[in-house]
Amino acid sequence: MVATVHYKVGDSVREIGGQDGVITSIRRPMGYMECHIKTTKGSDIIRLKHELTKISNGSRILKLHTTQNPTLPPEVVEELNKPEEEFFSHTPKRKFIAIEDNDVEAFIENSANQNTQKKTKSNMTILFSFISSTMPDEEHKIEHFSPEKLNAILSKFFITITKENGESYEPGSLRGFFQSFQRFLKRKQYPCNIMNDPAFQQTRDALAAKQKVLKSDGKGNVPNKASSLSDREVEQIYDAGQIGTHHPEAIINGLWWYNTTHFGLRGITAHRNMRWGDVILKTDPFGEEYLEYNERATKTRTGPNTANIRQVPPRAWATPAAPDRCPVELFKEYSARRPSHCSGADDPFYIATTTVKEPTPESTWFRAQPIGKRKIGAIMKTMALKSGLQGSKRITNHSARKTMIQKLVSNDVPPTHIVQISGHKNLNSLNAYSSITQEQHRNISKLISYQTPSNQVSTEIAKTQTQVRPAQHTVSSAADLENLTGDDIDKDIKSIFSGNLNNCTITININKTQETTHSISVSQQNK
């Protein structure tokens, strides 16, 4: 057994670097022992207890210490010379909450994603129902099954499973079942991972084969993805008064839109978990106001990694030139109309609007009550319906996020910049959002459909993009040139170079003859 060494002020010690010295003071921050030492070389150092060795031949060092340092008060010396154990015996005990083993499990489950939990529970219920119908005598605790037995059950499940109405599941839904089973088994500490363990190769093969059959039957092509909005459709939403400061509903819609497009929020939970103190109004060095969002745990950034945060805080700058599109002005109006007792940092960001259908500017617009999940989840769809956006597009809350990313991609914003706005952790994730716009698709379709010579095709397509504007005056002699005024020349130049000129070459020829006649010709050639 190793003997415990006690240290006190005045002890001669040798530190790990080989220097000898005398302990001048002792501190115990956070419960560990920290010694301040005056060395023979005159320097002051700090060392932990385990970095020191007590030496007995230290009379010379002790003398050095006592002559260079004033004598400490007796009560201080007595306190510092107390044994280490005595210090801990007088340390107040921390207060810990007493919990049972079941409470630990419940805490872990409650911290998990609620939607994932619901999906896992629903899928496990279907699996248990399958086991009951095919093997009535078997227990439902699959975590007790051997890998061979469980592998056989899961293989049959994926081959035979159908919905209650007899229809087949989508290929992606079967993959969701597979992931739910693995989550459940992992929580039950099952010894095998069904996703990669060789014992479950048959299960994976059965799943892949069933997905292949379903795809050949036309499954998996359901257009259930949310569509992005075109610039024209966004304008239609603004023109319909769905976003603005004129009405409480328009304020909530606008806040949701800006929080999604400027801050990159996704999902209902991220919006509903927002707190009033998460958004702060600031001013940059140029005097321009902007909103800065302090992101909490989101659907993209969950987990225990404290470094998993955005490197650039999401911000939204004011647009004084377009006050009807200004996120800062909308935020200020919302701040001024919120109840004062519901404007604390931890109060909900989205609060309910008044029940009065047409409130006056002087009336109360908002109530001290958080908006429900269902209303937040239907904001984009409601705006689309009230704006008259109809057609085959599937418009959901996710459409706003897709619109933001599509707009940035179309304007050649680098992907490394886009992910700092959208909050994505992986650049490849942007591929799922980037697609050709409807206008681009329409132009490509027309290009493919034309069966005429290429120059006629280019001319026809150019009509949808820009129109050729010939000069209004033709100059064929010096007299004609002298008759032109400065305004005439300006008009001719503006008529040629106004609008968009895409995929064309412009040639200006100025020919001077011996008779001092001038000829100006302008031609446009399609590439």
Q: Mind listing the pLDDT tens digit for each residue in 33-47?
A: 778 888 877 766 676
pLDDT classification of 76: cutoffs 50, 70, 90: low
Distance between CA atoms of 202 and 148, rounded to whole angstroms?
Answer: 10
What is the bridge-based pairing of β-strands 12-15 and 34-39? unpaired
pLDDT of residue 151: 95
pLDDT of residue 516: 44
Measured over the CA atoms of residue 380, residue 385, residue 389 and residue 394, the dihedral's sign is positive
Percentage of the chain surpassing pLDDT 70?
65
CA atoms within 13 A of residue 86's CA, in its CB half-sphere: 9
Kindly report, as residue ranges, where domains of CATH 2.30.30 are found in the chain.
12-89
pLDDT of residue 453: 46
Position 222 pLDDT exceeds 90: no
Name, of 30-39, 233-242, 393-402, the range with top average pLDDT.
233-242
The phi, psi pair for 36, rounded to 5°, reads: -95, 130
Give pLDDT tens digits for 235-271: 999 999 999 999 999 999 999 999 999 998 888 989 9
Mean pLDDT of all residues in 302-330: 79
Of 483 and 70, which is predicted with more confidence?
483
Position 93 pLDDT exceeds 50: yes
Distance between CA atoms of 43 and 41, rounded to whole angstroms?
Answer: 6
Residue 17: is it exposed, middle or buried by C-beta count within 10 angstroms (0-12/13-18/19+)? exposed
Describe the strand order of the beta sheet including 279-283 as a list of residue ranges. 279-283, 289-293, 315-317
The CATH number of the domain covering residues in 12-89: 2.30.30
323-350 exposure pattern, b = at least 16 Cβ within 10 A, e = fewer: eeebbbbbbbbbeebbeeeeeeeebbbb
Residue 282: strand pairing partners = 290
Give the other-Cβ count within 10 Å of 460's Cβ.
13
Give pLDDT tens digits for 264-301: 888 898 999 999 999 999 999 999 999 999 887 544 44
CA 364 to each of CA 202, 327, 336, 344: distance values in angstroms, whole numbers, following the listed order: 64, 22, 11, 18
Q: Quick one: tokens of 374?
A: 């269902």
For residue 385, the surrounding DSSP H or E stretch is helix 379-386
Kindly report, as residue ranges, where domains of CATH 1.10.443.10 are found in the chain.
231-301+308-432
Give pLDDT tens digits for 329-347: 999 999 999 998 999 999 9
Helix ranges restricted to H, 338-378: 373-377
Task: With 0.85 as the threshold, say if the pTM is over it.
Answer: no
pLDDT of residue 500: 54
Distance between CA atoms of 212 and 173, rounded to whole angstroms?
Answer: 13
The most distant pair of C-alpha atoms in the chain lies apart, rounded to whole Å, by: 119
pLDDT classification of 81: cutoffs 50, 70, 90: low
231-301+308-432 adopts what CATH topology? hpI Integrase; Chain A (1.10.443)
